[in-house]
Amino acid sequence: MLKKQYTFMIGKHKLMKPWEKWSLFAIFFLIYFVFWSYSFMTGSQWIIDNSIALFTLILLILFSNVLKLKKTGFILLNLALLTHNLGTFGYYSLTWKFLAYDNLVHFISLIVIAYITFNIVSIRFYKVPNNRDIFEENKYLFIILVMCAAISLSVLLELVEFGGYYYLGEGEGLLLAGVGDSDPMNNGIRDQYGDTMSDLIVNIFGAFIGAFGYYYFRIRNPYLTH
């Protein structure tokens, strides 16, 4: 019983100190602003995505305590945004044989989504001591549920991409279909099937790594508090 409780406990879920929070905010704000300025000066449609990134950063910093967002989660969320917004500089045109940069973005994003989802679940269970044993007895079920939740969010993103293409047409960025929204191995209608399926496949791998990674590196190591 005692061992089970210790394997679940992950510290007191220490939130970021004010100086940590605002230092990270300043760093990422500067990066996003550079991206935004570049897209503005070049007339790139990526200015929409970079504006969304700046707005998201502000929301994260304002509601970090409400979201119980710690330093690791805050950094991971912004790294996922940065990976996507590197498309400002043409990264989405990069391919490696059957893999595209778009696949890498999906992979990293799903690791982060699964990590954050598991963090929210663990914090909620941490508040009720009796729930710790319930979690340990059903840990693999919880891991699978977190994976399913993360994959469901990734499907929602695919629907957003489809809606952007259907209503807004071609272009650059999340809401428009363009470079990166294709399977480097195929053409035509197979191209779109290949892009969607490859995205979903890497999403599954990302969700798997994010969920299992959170469990084994945080919940199984109670001394980790960041």
Give dist(CA 226, CA 223) in Å, integer: 9
Q: Is residue 139 one of the residues assigned to a domain?
A: yes
Is 106 a residue whose pLDDT tops 70?
Answer: yes
What count of other Cβ atoms lies within 10 Å of the Cβ of residue 120? Answer: 15
Q: Is residue 130 one of the residues assigned to a domain?
A: yes
Q: Is residue 224 one of the residues assigned to a domain?
A: no
C-alpha distances in Å from residue 101, one per residue of 89, 96, 172, 180, 208: 12, 8, 14, 7, 20
Encode pLDDT of 3-61 as tens digits.
Answer: 444 344 444 456 788 899 999 999 999 999 999 999 999 999 899 999 999 999 999 99
- How many domains does the chain contain in total? 1
What percentage of the chain carries pLDDT values higher than 70? 71
Q: Which domain holds residue 116?
A: 2-219
Confidence at residue 170, expressed as pLDDT on a 0 to 100 scale: 65
Give dist(CA 23, CA 65) in Å, integer: 16
Confidence label for 225 from pLDDT (cuts 50, 70 and 90): very low
pTM for the full predicted model: 0.79
Q: Is residue 225 one of the residues assigned to a domain?
A: no
Q: Is residue 96 one of the residues assigned to a domain?
A: yes
Q: Is residue 143 one of the residues assigned to a domain?
A: yes
Average pLDDT along the chain: 79
**Could you give the 3-state DSSP secondary structure of residue 86?**
helix
Helices 139-168 & 188-214 angle (0-180, nearest 10): 150
Q: Is residue 226 one of the residues assigned to a domain?
A: no
**Could you give the 3-state DSSP secondary structure of residue 99?**
strand
Q: Is residue 11 one of the residues assigned to a domain?
A: yes
